[in-house]
Chains A and B, each alone.
Chain A
């Protein structure tokens, strides 16, 4: 189950962060997302370490914790997407698929002429789309 998704801007500032959990751990998820930016930075700044990852938007598993897995995605405009999930065996293909859908939703949201680049994404449509994508994440892997 996806517990948190985030869009992070150029200054590593959060543009959109939404947790999908009933528990009281939203703050903890914010911390996890924030910390995973360290890994993104490292991947981006030292492309040697992650040789084959070069020129790929999907950054893979970022940060192992006991209970969560954190995946990252870097768009061409250097906007970062972070996904935190509690499923411990996740197929890479599922995550890639999720990010692709998420990216499309993001592109649609920022293409809104009333959206100012660099500002937080407050579009309600975007939030709805994201929650649909998040819900369909588990189903896809099952099917």
Chain B
């Protein structure tokens, strides 16, 4: 866009001129410039300068010439923008106007002279009266006189007080409005006058129509009437097309140049206006018409380059306009586009598209210019005449400047002269730089829009341009950036071309590595002769098999004859020496995978250490010619396994490698034919356990050239990117179909078999609460044990976990089964152990180090495990050790053992309460509840209660437990066999009148009975286990009545005895009691069967009966029952308390029986 003059590029701005009172000009002009729209001001200090506006005389008869010498005058527009104002503002101080008559006369004179000047140009006049001090009074008569004298409307005589700071801004704004109104009147009048000329058809020259249309459009632009401006610009443009069609002038070359220049300017204006109003589609369509209309107007053959240059400029300018427009609007609406884009492509709205075409046209121009120059030798001579050719008065015309003394004259030039001038001008420019700049713009623009292929094409063209310019580094960079896309999408012909350039670049820079890489990649490309690209080639040459072979030969000559011999074709900077050996890396994404692909497969997934297995190395190359490899090196992650494969036909390679302490295999030949796998199978063994992986295969060709190829597994072998779509036979790296599908480049070396026994000896189920010992024994059977380490793990068999954080137990109890500790073998205590000894015990995990053991030694320890819940667990013990003293190299050997251990509850505690024999307190709470409810909920106060605690060995069948009560009074040991229950009796007498008492806890200390043979051991080592059970709380009640039954301990058949029923009233009230005594078949009874009696407070009533037993044995005595009327409570002693044993005859007791004792103790 910079080619266009400033006045064309920016919209025209109204011009205003001021005269008089120069001290205020600055204030007004600054304000007007900031107005919207702005107004430019042309300040004339005094009246004497006003002649500048007077019209020159010769203008008047220019129309007479036919045809006019040019279409547009070069300076017309700038004249109207900077020299000819629309409005002239005459400034007068107020005291001159309204002051004394002398000054008024002067004002009138000035006005007259102004009027005469401006009338010729129809410039509008406005009068500005400056009220410099507030005292100036306004004289209405003078005002009218002034208006008359100036011949202006009243609103164009404006008063302004520059000192009134408050009002100044507002008045200036009003002033600007007034002036712009006046100015637009001026421009409208001017435009209308010219329009009239067109409409009258009085104009007899088409050139003038174009000129007038242009002027009308410019005047419309002055008024910001964009629609009219557009209309007349288009009119001018179309009229110009007519001229272009019927050009009759002799100097056709210059004529065409002029027309094109004006068309270009008109087009520029039209495009700008269209884009400013947001009509992108219209602008694009317009541009396409413009381009198509002028594309054929090539002109004379020797100046074709001017046409291309012009075309290129059209594209460039439109691209710039479009870019600016898109940037400023930011509202590129594709939907809107789609609706009317039936003919349009989206591409035509991208500036990048135009940049690209501009570059294309410019390169056409360059070649046309070169052709012109080469055809005519005369252009070579420096044409001194061309120096004096300058642009003439008319747009698009050139003339010769002739200086004759002070006079400067312009003479028209002939076409031949012009052509010479144009050629010499054209040769001054470096088109390549311009082309590169345009392509770069297109490239960046496309890239930002993610239009990759177009941007690649631009990059490619740019790189080619750089290449031909000799800017190798830039060329290489650009080629490199585009090749990846071509590789990815498999466009072999394009890739071939780009690589050909890259190869030449690296040849020129002497980069041997790049040269070899590019050459090898090219040679390995799947180029078939059918691609059709045969002649149109860059430095790559035709894409054919033959060319591939040539390239490969060249490279291999270079690398294999590196020892000094350099053929003449190669520049000296391309050579490989011993100092700088060439090493190529081929990884999984490298394009050189085509050149060499290494697939490695172990024949077995796992190997024993020291055992040998087979490994197959398969190599594939797509190079067209067979490659002979001198030596192959296979590298593993265990560097001890690395080995070399030497080519038997190349003995010198053996000598080189013999120096190294490596395993060397010899292959009869290492010939790598095109697209055929070279398969080599060798044995391999490793002593180290762990993963054995093949890392890379290094092929050595010649003495200084190596290709390091990353090893790939056949199972995960990716197909070669560019060859996948080729119609060649798919081959597999290994013949064995299973290995071809599943072969891996790595294998697992197992660890050595352990020669150590690990024993876990647990004796049956464990009991909850006790510390259960699990002896662990390590016996070495062939291996020494160095730095042994034993790990212990407890795992729930059912998988529920041994830890239950939910339960509200103390933390230590949260583990159902817990590893308490590990005790070492006897006679070994902690102080003797060295610092390496590790012992770490957690809840379910333990770690202990095992001391050094010689072959045949044994070592043992005991695991102490405590169960908190009856739960089966799985105990895992694993031992890891080094069989050799050298820790750094040897691998650890592992032994694992596991054991399931059941956990059982050892002792179940139970208890119950009894009241004393034949003494029945009336507890009111018993009666309140239903008769079946547990009578032991409450205990009578001050009465002796009996508590019986039982402990039952619940634990299976096999073990007996010895139990010791935690009662000091009972120190004796009891031995409980399984299923047996041990009972103890306690007396509980509540003597505090509190409602609820805590009865305390039963503590049972017990331990496992290990049997006779281990008695001594177990008693010494086994600790007592304490099982605790809390007794439930009880209520305490005061019984109001107590019924005691008294009778002898036994009776004799037929012998009468007395049976007392004592009713004790413990209250302070008189108690009415109804009682009854039921008959019994076994006894004859004397006494009242039922009655109501009154028992006095705090006293005892005794009922006595005589009974005669009628039958022997355990007999039920008559049953007594009573009802307390006050409490309406029934008391009936239990059957057991009212039975007695009847002997048939009087017994004779010789010794004290245990039964007697027992009865006594209970009775007491």
Chain A interfacial positions (CB closer than 8 Å to B):
9, 11-15, 17-19, 24-28, 30-31, 34-35, 37-39, 42, 46, 48-51, 61-64, 66, 116, 118-120, 122
Contact = CB atoms under 8 A, between A and B. Distances in A.
Contacts of B334: 46, 48-49
B491 interface: yes
Contacts, number: 93
A15 B725 contact: yes
A120 B491 CA distance: 12
Given A11-B490, A42-B451, A48-B334, 9 more contacts: A17-B531, A24-B536, A26-B493, A30-B493, A31-B457, A34-B453, A49-B346, A62-B345, A122-B530
A9 B726 CA distance: 12
Nearest to A114: B727
A27 B491 contact: no
Contacts of B531: 17, 26
A24 B532 CA distance: 10
A39 B347 contact: yes
10 contacts: A11-B490, A27-B493, A30-B491, A34-B456, A37-B453, A48-B338, A49-B335, A50-B338, A51-B338, A66-B295
A63 B345 contact: yes
Chain A CB within 10 A, most for which of B348, B492, B724:
B724
Nearest to B364: A66
Given A13-B489, A14-B490, A39-B347, A26 B536 contact: yes
B1052 interface: no
Interface string B1101-1127: 000000000000000000000000000
Contacts of A61: 345
Given A27-B537, A120-B726, A66 B494 contact: no
A48 B333 CA distance: 12
A87 B335 CA distance: 29
Given A27-B494, A118-B725, A119-B727, A11 B533 contact: no
B489 A24 contact: no
B347 A64 contact: yes
A119 B536 contact: no
B532 A19 contact: yes
A64 B533 contact: no
B457 A27 contact: no
B489 A25 contact: no
Given A27-B536, A64-B347, A35 B457 contact: yes
Contacts of B338: 48-51
Given A38-B453, A38-B454, A62-B345, A13 B533 contact: no
Interface residues of B, number: 38
Chain A CB within 10 A, most for which of B347, B534, B726:
B347
Contact of A119 (B453, B489, B725): B725
Contacts of B347: 39, 63-64
B23 to A, nearest CB: 62
A31 B490 CA distance: 13
B460 interface: yes
Chain B CB within 10 A, most for which of A14, A18, A24, A35:
A35
Given A24-B535, A39-B345, A66-B357, A34 B491 contact: yes
Contacts of A30: 491, 493-494, 533
Contacts of B488: 11
Interface of B: 295, 334-335, 337-338, 345-348, 357, 360, 451-454, 456-457, 460, 488-494, 497, 530-537, 724-727
B451 A38 contact: yes
A17 B724 CA distance: 17
Contacts of B532: 17-19, 26
Nearest to B451: A38
Nearest to A62: B345
A143 to B, nearest CB: 25
A80 B457 CA distance: 20
A27 B454 contact: no
Nearest to A70: B345
Nearest to A127: B530
B537 A119 contact: no
Contact of B725 (A34, A62, A120): A120
A61 B343 CA distance: 8
B486 to A, nearest CB: 8
Nearest to A64: B345
Given A13-B490, A34-B494, A38-B451, A48 B335 contact: yes
A13 B536 contact: no
A73 B532 CA distance: 23
Contacts of A119: 724-727
A18 B491 CA distance: 13
A9 B345 contact: no
B366 to A, nearest CB: 17
Contacts of A12: 489
Nearest to B526: A120
A61 B348 CA distance: 12
Given A14-B490, A38-B451, A27 B534 contact: no
Contacts of B497: 27
Contact of B727 (A24, A27, A34, A120): A120
Contacts of B337: 49
A93 B488 CA distance: 35
Contact of B534 (A14, A15, A26): A26
A54 to B, nearest CB: 12
B345 A118 contact: no
A89 B534 CA distance: 30
A122 B457 contact: no
A26 B348 CA distance: 25
A35 B482 CA distance: 13
A-B interface, 7 closest residue pairs, ranked by CB to CB distance from nearest: A13-B490, A24-B536, A12-B489, A26-B533, A38-B453, A24-B535, A26-B532
Contacts of B534: 26
A61 B346 CA distance: 10
A11 B489 CA distance: 6
Contact of A27 (B360, B489, B533): B533
A58 B489 CA distance: 23
A116 to B, nearest CB: 8
Contacts of B457: 31, 34-35
B319 to A, nearest CB: 15
A142 to B, nearest CB: 23
A120 B530 CA distance: 11
B225 to A, nearest CB: 34
A122 B457 CA distance: 27
Contacts of A49: 334-335, 337-338, 346
B1116 to A, nearest CB: 104
Contacts of B453: 34-35, 37-38
Nearest to B357: A66
B346 A14 contact: no
Nearest to A52: B338
A49 B332 CA distance: 12
A120 B527 CA distance: 12
A26 B346 CA distance: 26
Nearest to B496: A27
A38 B346 CA distance: 11
Given A24-B535, A24-B536, A118-B725, A31 B489 contact: no
Given A31-B457, A49-B338, A13 B725 contact: yes
Nearest to B489: A12
B334 to A, nearest CB: 5
A116 B530 CA distance: 19
B978 to A, nearest CB: 78
Contacts of B724: 118-119
Chain A CB within 10 A, most for which of B345, B453, B490:
B453
A118 B314 CA distance: 44
B491 A13 contact: yes
Nearest to A14: B491
Contacts of A39: 345-347
Contacts of B491: 13-14, 30, 34
B353 to A, nearest CB: 8
Nearest to B488: A11
